[in-house]
Amino acid sequence: MTTKIFSLFLVSLAIQSFMFGQAKDMAVIEGSRYIPLYGRDSTVVEVQDFKMDIYPVTIEAYQQFLKENPKWTKSKVVKLFADKSYLTNWKNDLEPNDAINPKSPVNYVSWFAAKAYCECQDKRLPTVDEWEYVAMADETTKDARIKPSYNEKILAWYEAPRTKENSVGETPKNAWGVYDLHGLVWEWTLDFNSVLITGESRKDMDNDNNLFCGSAAINATDLMNYAAFMRYATRGSLKAKYAMKNLGFRCVQDIKEETK
């Protein structure tokens, strides 16, 4: 009996380690302090160490999620959590349209759905600060924002049509080992609703009006970073139930301290 229990133990260990093999698809991001384009009034923000999915979530992976969580399929999803465009490019609850590349990033997903997907894997969506922190790297430098080539590449992507249909992992990986932060789709962030860029920022007495009008670009921390400006502007206009063509997501995970 004891040998049996032992072998059982071994089997479960093997399976567990196989499952944890998935963690290889995440890159460890060493936290630091940096000045984001629009942080707390352009001051330094601090990012803790965390792990980030190296690819955006693919159609294929999302399909698996739908199979396990039918309540997020397009016929069952609660309207509060997703608008009419949710998975509009899927022909039925479990299958995307035939023309869709299963390795391309999932799109037409709402914030609620993205959040549920990540939580289901014991992960979460990245914060704006975390996402921007990793996204300011190019292939060789962790903060490439001052390089003209960095911005040129991103802006070239904004102009290129239909990149969202490409497979993940085809753009060069950045200095952290993360792919596709620029080049395929924009991505949901956990606290996208912390960007007060809409009408409210004028009515409220907050200091964000430098975010809003034309003069804002001049006040931006980094004049070169027009691409980031567009990302913040997009976030400011989103609502959590929106599902959009050029908006996907990826997950991150906190690094649990071994000793507490």
Contacts of 55 (CB under 8 A, 6+ apart): 25, 105, 168, 169, 179, 180, 250
Residue 79 structure tokens: 């309207």
In the region spanning residues 43 to 72, those forming contacts with other proteins, defined by CB under 8 A, are 68-69, 71
Of the residues 4, 24, 84, 260, which one makes contact with other proteins according to CB under 8 A: 4
Of the residues 55, 108, 111, 150, which one makes contact with other proteins according to CB under 8 A: 111
Residue 210 structure tokens: 């430098």
- DSSP letter, residue 186: E
# chain residues binding other proteins, by CB under 8 A: 42
In the region spanning residues 144 to 163, those forming contacts with other proteins, defined by CB under 8 A, are none
Of the residues 2, 3, 19, 84, which one makes contact with other proteins according to CB under 8 A: 19
Of the residues 120, 146, 156, 160, which one makes contact with other proteins according to CB under 8 A: 120
Q: Minimum distance from CB of 206 to other proteins (Å)?
A: 3
DSSP string for residues in 47-106: E--EEEESSPPBHHHHHHHHHH-GGGSTTTS-GGG--TTTTTTBSSSS-B-TTS-TTSBP
Binding of residue 115 to other proteins (CB under 8 A): yes
d(CA 216, CA 235): 16
Binding of residue 24 to other proteins (CB under 8 A): no
Residue 254 structure tokens: 């906190």
Q: Minimum distance from CB of 226 to other proteins (Å)?
A: 22
Of the residues 83, 143, 191, 222, which one makes contact with other proteins according to CB under 8 A: 191
